[in-house]
Amino acid sequence: MTKWQLIAKLALTVLGIFIFVESMHYVWLAGAAGQLWWPSVYSLGIFLLFSVLVCRMLFWSDAWGERMIGPGDEDEPAIGTLASVGGFRVVLVLCGLLILAGRIEFLVRTVAFIVVAPKIIVSMIVYKYVDGVFYMPGRDWIQLIVNLARVILGIYLVLGAPRFVRWQMNKFYASAPAD
């Protein structure tokens, strides 16, 4: 892998991650449509289209990367494993920090709910009443699940996405010609 191939692959990875994070918004819109069925189908269709595009960028980006930079130069030295793994980790940590930056309020509320939830559940059982927290409309539950998925993705990326990087490196070095 040359330097420019690595840069193209990293750019496609970043673009794929952010398209996926933004496409999660369409899942929430599908749940918020209410009684009408066509906005839900439209939103889910856009989500599926973006998901296919993201899969293409994240998992099968080699052909796009080669088209972006053209044929590799024979005189250019190949990039080492350490540089490519380091490049992937730095880019993925940056993506994770950017995703979590928009979800700090949700993260704080989740931690507060985890701390308070056992007390609420025990008082619900003892005093036989149901708290209004659990009576949310379906669209609010969908938004909660989407936000939780974004936070989990952000935390995984901040940790460096070890399995994704290992898979990318194994895929590249398995397909690389032997010297």
- pLDDT tens for 88-144 read 888 888 888 888 888 888 888 878 878 887 887 777 777 766 655 566 666 677 777
Neighbours of 86 (CB within 10 A): 12
Q: Which of 98, 91, 90 is nearest to 155 (CA)?
A: 98
Predicted local distance difference test score (pLDDT) of residue 29: 63
The pTM assigned to this predicted structure is 0.67
Contacts with 171 (C-beta within 8 Å, 6 or more apart), sequence order = none
Does the structure show a pLDDT above 80 at 30? Answer: no
Q: Which two tokens stand for residue 116?
A: 């308070």
Mean pLDDT rounded to a whole number for the chain: 77
pLDDT digits (tens, 9 = 90+) for 55-71: 887 777 777 777 777 76
Number of helices (H) and strands (E), helices first, in the chain? 7, 0
Does the structure show a pLDDT above 60 at 178? Answer: no
**CA-to-CA distance for 44 and 62, rounded, in angstroms?**
28
Q: Which of 29, 51, 24 is nearest to 41 (CA)?
A: 29
pLDDT average, residue stretch 18-30 = 74
- Is residue 157 within 8 A of residue 96, CB to CB? The reply is yes
Predicted local distance difference test score (pLDDT) of residue 98: 86
pLDDT confidence bin for 36, thresholds 50/70/90:
low
Does the structure show a pLDDT above 60 at 179? Answer: no
What is the 8-class DSSP label of residue 133?
Answer: G
Q: Which of 53, 27, 54 is nearest to 42 (CA)?
A: 27
Predicted local distance difference test score (pLDDT) of residue 175: 63
Residue pointed to by tokens 């269709």: 45
Residue pointed to by tokens 């420019």: 4
AA identity, residue 18:
F
